C-alpha cells in the first residue's frame, strides 16, 4: 500500500545504522554535514527540480532558519526545540511571502533566479548590521549539552537528528511525487499555459511549493546553527549555501527524491578531497564545484540518478 515509501525507508534505516558500525568522528562529521547539505538541497529540489523555479538564493531560507533558532533562544530565552520549529515555520512563511511577490508578478526563469539572489543578499546585509542578529560580530548559542537544549553530547545523536530531518523531507517529497499536487507541480515546470488550461491553479501550486521548499531548507539552517552554535551573516545568508543547495540537487539528479542525497555525498567527498590535495588554498573548493557542475550539465544533465537509470533497461510502466 505504501510501496512508494519503502525504498526511502530502507536507505534511511541503513544510514541510521552507520554510527553503530563506524566509530570514527571524521566519518560521522563528514556524513552529518553531507546530510545537512542534502536537506538544504531537498528543499531546493522541490521548488527547482519538480517545480522548475530555479532559485539562486535559497540561503535566504537557510539563514532564516539558522537565525530564528539562535535569536529566539539567545535573545528571548525560548526553548531550543520550540525555536527549531519556529525556524521551520518562519522559512515556510518567508517562502510564501517571496513567492507571493515574485510569482504573482509573473517572474519566471532567470528573472526569478535573480530576484531570489537579491532577497538572500538583502537578508545578508540586514543580518550584518542589525543588533538583534548580532550584526557584524555574529551570535553565539551558549554551549549547554542536553536533550532539552537540542545540543547532543555524542556525534551519533546529532547525526541521527539530521538524518531524521532529511528522512521526513524525503518522505514528504516522495509522497508529493505520487499525488495530484506532484503531477500539477511537474506540469507547471513543463508548460505553465498548458497546465492552466487543464485547470491547474498555477499560482497556488507555486506558492505551496516555495513554502514547503523554504521550510525544508530552513530546517537545514536551524540544524547548522544548533550544531556549530555560532552564526554570522556570511555563514547564514552567504551565497555558499545557495550554491550548495542547488548543486547537490543538480549533481545528484534534479527532480528526483534521491538526487540531493547522492549529490551531497559526492560533493562533500570532493570538497574533503580538495582540502587534502590543495591544503588551505582559498576558493579551491568552489573551483572544484564549478568544474563538476560544468561536467554534469554537459555529460549527465540528469545527474547521478539519470546516469544510473540510463545504465539499466528503461522501466516502461511508471506509475
Partner 1 sequence: MAELLAEAEGITVRFGGLVAVNDASVPVPEGCIVGLIGPNGAGKTTLFATIAGFQKPNAGSIRFRGADITRLPPHRRAALGIARTFQIVQPFAGLTVRENIAVGAHLRHAGRADALAAAEAVADRVGLAPLLNLPAASLTVAGRKRLELARALATEPQLLLLDEVLAGLNPSEIRDMIPVIRAIRDGGVTVLMIEHVMQAVMALAEEIHVLAGGRIIARGGPEQVARDPAVVEAYLGHGAAARLQGGAHA
Helix residue spans in 178-238 (DSSP H)? 180-190, 192-197, 202-228, 233-237
Q: According to CB under 8 A, which one of 113, 120, 139, 195 is a site residue for partner 1?
A: 195
In whole angstroms, the minimum distance from the beta carbon of 11 to partner 1 comes to: 23
By CB under 8 A, which span of 16-24, 196-204, 227-235, 282-290 interacts with partner 1? 196-204
Whole-angstrom distance between the N-terminal and C-terminal Cα of the chain? 14
Burial of 314 (0-12, 13-18, 19+ CB in 10 A): exposed
In whole angstroms, the minimum distance from the beta carbon of 10 to partner 1 comes to: 22
By CB under 8 A, which span of 12-20, 133-141, 189-197, 273-281 interacts with partner 1? 189-197
Q: Where in 201-260 is the site for partner 1 (CB under 8 A)?
A: 201-202
Residue 179 binds to partner 1 (criterion: CB under 8 A): yes
Residue 184 binds to partner 1 (criterion: CB under 8 A): yes
Contact (CB, 8 A) for 209 and 53: yes
Q: According to CB under 8 A, which one of 187, 212, 241, 251 is a site residue for partner 1?
A: 187
In whole angstroms, the minimum distance from the beta carbon of 188 to partner 1 comes to: 10
User: To which H or E segment does residue 230 belong?
Assistant: strand 230-231
Count of residues in contact with partner 1, rule CB under 8 A: 24
Q: According to CB under 8 A, which one of 196, 286, 300, 309 is a site residue for partner 1?
A: 196
Backbone angles phi, psi at 260, to 5 degrees: -60, -40
Contact (CB, 8 A) for 256 and 262: no
Contact (CB, 8 A) for 177 and 186: no
Strand blocks (E) in 38-175: 139-140
Binding site for partner 1 (CB under 8 A): 178-180, 183-184, 186-187, 189-191, 193-202, 316-319
Amino acid at each position: 500500500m505504501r510501496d512508494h515509501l519503502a525504498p526511502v525507508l530502507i536507505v534511511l534505516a541503513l544510514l541510521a545504522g552507520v554510527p553503530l558500525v563506524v566509530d570514527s568522528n571524521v566519518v560521522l562529521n563528514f556524513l552529518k554535514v553531507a546530510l545537512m547539505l542534502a536537506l538544504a538541497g531537498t528543499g531546493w529540489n522541490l521548488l527547482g527540480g519538480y517545480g522548475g523555479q530555479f532559485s539562486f538564493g535559497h540561503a535566504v531560507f537557510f539563514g532564516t532558519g539558522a537565525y530564528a533558532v539562535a535569536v529566539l533562544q539567545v535573545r528571548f530565552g525560548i526553548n531550543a526545540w520550540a525555536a527549531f520549529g519556529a525556524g521551520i515555520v518562519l522559512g515556510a512563511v518567508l517562502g510564501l511571502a517571496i513567492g507571493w511577490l515574485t510569482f504573482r508578478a509573473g517572474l519566471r526563469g532567470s528573472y526569478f533566479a535573480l530576484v531570489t539572489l537579491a532577497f538572500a543578499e538583502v537578508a545578508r546585509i540586514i543580518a550584518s548590521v542589525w543588533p538583534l542578529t548580532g550584526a557584524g560580530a555574529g551570535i553565539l548559542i551558549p554551549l549547554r549539552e542536553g536533550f532539552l537544549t537540542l545540543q547532543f553530547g555524542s556525534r551519533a545523536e546529532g547525526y541521527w537528528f539530521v538524518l531524521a530531518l532529511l528522512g521526513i523531507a524525503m518522505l514528504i517529497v516522495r509522497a508529493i511525487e505520487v499525488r495530484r499536487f506532484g503531477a500539477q507541480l511537474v506540469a507547471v515546470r513543463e508548460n505553465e499555459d498548458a497546465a492552466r488550461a487543464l485547470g491547474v491553479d498555477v499560482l497556488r501550486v507555486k506558492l505551496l511549493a516555495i513554502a514547503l521548499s523554504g521550510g525544508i531548507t530552513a530546517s537545514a539552517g536551524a540544524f547548522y546553527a544548533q550544531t556549530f552554535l555560532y552564526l554570522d551573516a556570511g555563514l547564514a545568508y552567504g551565497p555558499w549555501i545557495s550554491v550548495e543547495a542547488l548543486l547537490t540537487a543538480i549533481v545528484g539528479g534534479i527532480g528526483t527524491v534521491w538526487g540531493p542525497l547522492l549529490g551531497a555525498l559526492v560533493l562533500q567527498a570532493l570538497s574533503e578531497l580538495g582540502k587534502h590535495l590543495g591544503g588551505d588554498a582559498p576558493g579551491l573548493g568552489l573551483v572544484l564545484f564549478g568544474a563538476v557542475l560544468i561536467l554534469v550539465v554537459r555529460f549527465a544533465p540528469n545527474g547521478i540518478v539519470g546516469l544510473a537509470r540510463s545504465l539499466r533497461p528503461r522501466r516502461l510502466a511508471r506509475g
